[in-house]
Amino acid sequence: MKKKFLSIGLIISLCSGVFTATDFPEADITNGIVKAKLYLPDVSNGYYQGTRFDWSGVIPNLEYQGHTYFGKWFDKYDPKIHDAISGPVEEFVALDYADTKAGSDFVKIGVGVLKKPDDKPYSFATNYEVVNHGKRTVKRKNDIVEFTHELTDETGYGYVYTKIIKLVKGKPELVLEHSLKNTGKKAISTSVYDHNFFMIDNEPTGPGIKITFPFDVAAEGKGFGTIANVEGKSIIYTRPLANKENVFSAGLKGLTSSPKDYDLKIENVKTGAGVKITSDQPIEKLVYWSCPTTACPEPYIKLNVEPGKEVKWKINYEFFTTAKN
């Protein structure tokens, strides 16, 4: 396992935030075309120790033809802050949270068994107590990292979750391969989405960023019609977002049940760098959120796994460059 040692005094500022660096377990991968850095999960020393996102597959940096795609978009860093994370990271909806009594345990795939503190609705910003981290293993080669998270709990849930992040040989492409095997007594019914914290060439969210879908999209919500507009199949911005502003839709319209609709494109029209995102699964719903530093289409996938069964799914990221506008 490779570690890069950074001085304790190194301070990186973004907006008004301050980040003090330390040692984090990490791995570098490349296929000679794309290179990426991954932070590896670790209960004590891992970069991300929050309870919102799957701990596997945090990518602080990815480069292709001199362009960068991810970075530190948030103001404040702490390993337990729910959104102190970067890259195409994923969150599974908590299992049976609404039916779990206060003081009892509930499960989040990719995180572990957590304690429900009270009768309030689930909040992704809450740092829930982790009572069972499960077992994690990591295998890596030059162009691939495989994460496995195994969990068995008294709640009746059990699973083996494997996430493989690999760079495709000879192509500017990153693939997330997933498998979820139900080893427990209860059926697993959940959804998982990829937050896609893109920062293409560190372009502030505004007219330089364009998001395109394979269907005529419609959007309602905060900032739509003023800061962001829909033009046919694309979301474009009328101006840069100001500090603390955000654009949000709880569900873009125009989707069908076909996996062909999971075909999103986000690009920096100023630098000519972009990425096409596809999957072998249909989109259950499509949330959209952006702030001044990142733009995030968030496609959800529905998962139902009976005991003893296994489901698999893939998400592909194809990086490209175009002529600058």
Secondary structure of residue 47 in the 3-state scheme: coil
316, two tokens = 């592909």
Cβ atoms 114, 107 nearer than 8 A: yes
* Structural domain boundaries in the chain: 24-92+135-325
257, two tokens = 């049940």
The CATH class, in words, for 24-92+135-325 is mainly beta
pTM of the entire structure?
0.91
Distance CA 51, CA 281 (A): 25
Which residues neighbour 265 within 8 Å (Cβ) at sequence distance 6 or greater?
A: 211, 212, 213, 274, 275, 276, 277
Q: Residue 217: what residue type?
A: V
Residues of the chain with pLDDT under 70: 1-22, 324-325
Closest among 236, 251, 220, 252 to 295, alpha carbons compared: 236
Cβ atoms 123, 106 nearer than 8 A: no
List pLDDT tens digits, range 4-38.
333 223 223 333 333 344 589 999 999 999 999 99
Q: What is the pLDDT of residue 23?
A: 85
Distance CA 34, CA 236 (A): 27
List pLDDT tens digits, range 64-90.
999 999 999 999 999 999 999 999 999
